[in-house]
Amino acid sequence: MSAPERTPDEAAPLLEVRDLRKVFASGGWLAGGHRVRVHAVDTVSFILRSGETLGLVGETGSGKSTVGRLVLRLVEPTAGRIRLDGEDLTALSTREMRRRRREVQMVFQDPYGSLDPRMKVGALVAEPMVVHGTWRGAGRERVAEVVHKVGLHEGHLDRYPHEFSGGQRQRIGIARAMALRPRVLVLDEPVSALDVSIQAQIINLLRDLQQESGMGFLFIAHDLAVVRHVSDRVAVMYLGRIVEIGPRDAIYRAPAHPYTLSLLSAVPVPEASAARVRNRVVLHGEIGSATRLPEGCRFHPRCYLARLKAREGGVPTVEHEGDRLPEVCVRRDPEAVELAPGHEAACHFPEGVGGRSEVAERAMDFASGG
Ligand SMILES: Nc1ncnc2c1ncn2[C@@H]1O[C@H](COP(=O)(O)OP(=O)(O)OP(=O)(O)O)[C@@H](O)[C@H]1O
Ligand code: SF4
Ligand SMILES: [Mg+2]
């Protein structure tokens, strides 16, 4: 977290996610008797190294929490592989999975909702150790140690969650997740519900814990300023797919995917896009439906770069739902293209919008109505 950027090959992956998919069968039915299927996560791949924070951003419904829950096997993947230290978790038996599950823990946005209000703090922090069979012996000392690490004290152990402030409750949630000495922590919007000053305290706490233990963090958040602050690398999700992933500074200073640029332009982020985001890139419409993914590139219904490319000519175009678009955007789902070591974007025009300034200028003028 906030560490100097690492080179991509410096450390072997702690966690490796490959071609992960999750299709939920929702309650509804389609004509013809087919169940409504929600493509929540659609072919997602990434790695996470020890001591590294990967930020995961994207609009609501893009599939971020489902990725986190899949990594913990709280939901079963439809397809794909999740490797921890090279061991494929998806191939493990329930008993073997129990052994490894303690190495991957989760911190939630709403610590109050995830803490049983009838249990005292001591019991809440001890519970994962009891469940995973690591309580006997040094359990009591571990509770005291971990409570101290998160900035609480032993006098707090005998109290109930409602007696604490939001920030303190999040400390309890972190202590609970830390009790089993996990190697990977999935943090799902861990500071979104907290005041800004408290956010900073929790972020500093997480950074200290990571530096001490070498945990890898998958940090899910809406707030791009927070993600910039905490992440070594950033992955941007759109409708179940990672559309861009790369070192934090590359993503913020030279975004290659038009969706990333539009996200960055929507909020004031220090140093965003090399200060080139002077116009706000307004996206048309809402994020599409995960029950019916668009054909071709899933971003095409909202993509201003596609419209710019079609207007500028030089590529075969088609008339599509009242718009002229490059044929390739409507027909083919783009593969991820590596633009620089570790920096990938899934777009048919991989020169992108940030990598070449004149394209960025034209795209932003175009998107903002110029
Ligand atoms: N158990 C479920 N059954 C059916 N659909 C689900 C289920 N869980 C999630 N979804 C759907 O999967 C998609 C992705 O949801 P997810 O919660 O992962 O998104 P998110 O990026 O975390 O959104 P937010 O930012 O609002 O937390 C959404 O369309 C959501 O409605
Ligand atoms: S492939 Fe086409 S529609 Fe998709 S992001 Fe790139 S330009 Fe836009
Ligand atoms: Mg979520």
288-332 residue pLDDT tens: 788 888 999 999 999 988 998 999 888 999 998 888 999 999 999
pLDDT at residue 359 tops 90 = no
pLDDT at residue 34 tops 80 = no
Does 24 contact ligand 1 (Cβ within 6 A)?
A: yes
Helix (H, G, I), strand (E, B) or coil at 303: coil
Mutate to test the pocket of ligand 2, among 329, 333, 335 (most ligand atoms within 8 A of CB): 329
pLDDT score at 296 = 96
Q: Which of 6-10, 64-68, 294-298, 346-350 has the lowest mean pLDDT?
A: 6-10
pLDDT at residue 140 tops 90 = yes
Residue whose CA lies nearest to ligand 1 atom number 7: 24
| Average pLDDT estimate for 60-89 | 94
Does 109 contact ligand 1 (Cβ within 6 A)?
A: no
pLDDT at residue 98 tops 60 = yes
CA of 118 to the centre of ligand 3 (A): 26
Q: Burial level of 91, CB count in 10 A (0-12/13-18/19+)?
A: exposed
Average pLDDT value for the chain: 87
pLDDT at residue 199 tops 60 = yes
Separation CA 55–CA 60 (nearest Å): 15
Mutate to test the pocket of ligand 2, among 293, 305, 320, 353 (most ligand atoms within 8 A of CB): 305
pLDDT score at 7 = 47
Distances (CA, A) of 206 to 2, 39, 91, 232, 304: 11, 32, 31, 14, 38
The pTM for the full model equals: 0.91
234-288 residue pLDDT tens: 999 999 999 999 999 999 888 889 999 888 877 655 544 444 444 566 676 777 7
Does 219 contact ligand 2 (Cβ within 6 A)?
A: no
| Average pLDDT estimate for 166-174 | 94
* Ligand 1 atom, smallest distance to 67 CA: 18
Task: Give the residue with greater pLDDT, 314 vs 12.
Answer: 314
Q: Which of 26-30, 87-91, 200-204, 357-361 has the lowest mean pLDDT?
A: 357-361
pLDDT at residue 229 tops 70 = yes
pLDDT score at 273 = 46
| Average pLDDT estimate for 75-99 | 91
pLDDT score at 38 = 94
Residue whose CA lies nearest to ligand 1 atom number 10: 40
Beta carbons of 72 and 101 less than 8 angstroms apart? yes
User: What percentage of the chain carries pLDDT values higher than 70?
Assistant: 86
The pLDDT-based confidence of 1 (bands split at 50, 70, 90) is: low
Mutate to test the pocket of ligand 1, among 38, 72, 109, 187 (most ligand atoms within 8 A of CB): 38
The pLDDT-based confidence of 10 (bands split at 50, 70, 90) is: low
Does 304 contact ligand 2 (Cβ within 6 A)?
A: no
Q: Which residues contact 159 (CB under 8 A, 6 or more apart)?
A: 120, 121
CA of 114 to the centre of ligand 3 (A): 14
Residue whose CA lies nearest to ligand 1 atom number 26: 60
* Ligand 2 atom, smallest distance to 330 CA: 3
Q: Burial level of 284, CB count in 10 A (0-12/13-18/19+)?
A: exposed
CA of 64 to the centre of ligand 1 (A): 8
pLDDT score at 8 = 44
Is the C-alpha dihedral spanning 313, 318, 323, 325 positive or negative? negative
Cα–Cα nearest to 214, from 51, 52, 84, 105:
51
| Average pLDDT estimate for 127-133 | 93
* Ligand 1 atom, smallest distance to 62 CA: 21
Does 290 contact ligand 1 (Cβ within 6 A)?
A: yes
pLDDT score at 277 = 47
Task: Put the strands of the sheet holding 13-29 in their side by side order.
Answer: 35-49, 13-29, 79-84, 87-88
Report residues near ion ligand 3: CB below 5 Å. Answer: 65
Residue whose CA lies nearest to ligand 2 atom number 5: 347
pLDDT at residue 119 tops 60 = yes
Mutate to test the pocket of ligand 1, among 26, 35, 41, 65 (most ligand atoms within 8 A of CB): 65
Does 26 contact ligand 1 (Cβ within 6 A)?
A: yes
* Ligand 2 atom, smallest distance to 259 CA: 5
Longest dimension (CA), the chain: 71
The pLDDT-based confidence of 16 (bands split at 50, 70, 90) is: very high
The pLDDT-based confidence of 77 (bands split at 50, 70, 90) is: very high
* Ligand 1 atom, smallest distance to 291 CA: 29
